[in-house]
Amino acid sequence: MSFAIAIDGPAAAGKGTISKAVAAHFGFAHLDTGLLYRAVGAKVLAGVDPLEAAETLTAEDLEEPGLRTADVAQAASRVAVIGEVRAALVDFQRAFARRAGGAVLDGRDIGTVICPDAEAKLFVTASAEVRAQRRFAELEARGDDTSFETVLADVKERDARDAGRAEAPMVAAEDAVRIDTSELSIEAAVAAAIAAVEEARA
Ligand code: CDP
């Protein structure tokens, strides 16, 4: 039996943390689709053609170190506007969504394009400042030499590009439950997400 949970939202909204916790709660598999675009972006930074990078992506590519840097995030957002790149990644994501035993996918277009028939859809947001603060703390903890202002500018630039592109723009599906995590602890955000999925399951 398959059960797909789509979790979309802007940069650093907490989708990763929430998705992992929701997947663990229900015993579902989890796919961070941003990692696919980050892996393609990293290859492009290394000189590979974007479409070739997307068409030849391997599981090992997703384990490359350095995919979480801000430079790779920007590269990901730039390759993500290319329709052929997105198309090359669709089948893998759809198959993952319909695997037996249930799946959680997080990204930008899961509830709208990849899995419009997902049984549960969430759109996780927070103010740009809160998201930048969280991402800044993450990057700093990893030893990245950056500033809050740089991270805020990165988050805003990616959001504008992701929401403004012609192909699969970032937008909440009409039937998505919105969760604003600006003033929520991780525990409260996870609880809200689990409650929304429980409601969809009922
Ligand atoms: O972790 P964060 O929210 O900052 O970003 P991510 O989810 O790793 O995604 C990196 C970039 O990949 C985004 O800025 C999007 O441009 C792109 N992306 C996308 O276009 N569609 C998806 N389903 C997931 C990511």
Where in the sequence is the domain holding 86, given as residue range(s)?
4-201
Atom of ligand 1 nearest to the CA of 37: 12
- Cα–ligand 1 centroid distance for 24 (angstroms): 22
134 ligand 1 Cβ < 6 A: no
Instruction: Give per-residue pLDDT as tens, 39-50.
Output: 999 999 999 999
DSSP 176: P
- Cα–ligand 1 centroid distance for 202 (angstroms): 30
- Rounded CA-CA distance 14/141 in Å is 16
Closest CA to 193 of 43, 71, 14, 29: 14
Tens place of pLDDT for every residue, the chain, 202 residues?
A: 899 999 999 999 999 999 999 999 999 999 999 999 999 999 999 999 999 999 999 999 999 999 999 999 999 999 999 999 999 999 999 999 999 999 999 999 999 999 999 999 999 999 999 999 999 999 999 998 999 999 999 999 999 999 999 999 999 999 999 999 999 999 999 999 999 999 999 8
CATH of the domain at 166: 3.40.50.300
180: left (phi over 0), alpha (psi -120 to 50) or beta: beta
Nearest CA to ligand 1 atom 7: 34
What is the domain count for the chain? 1
77 ligand 1 Cβ < 6 A: yes
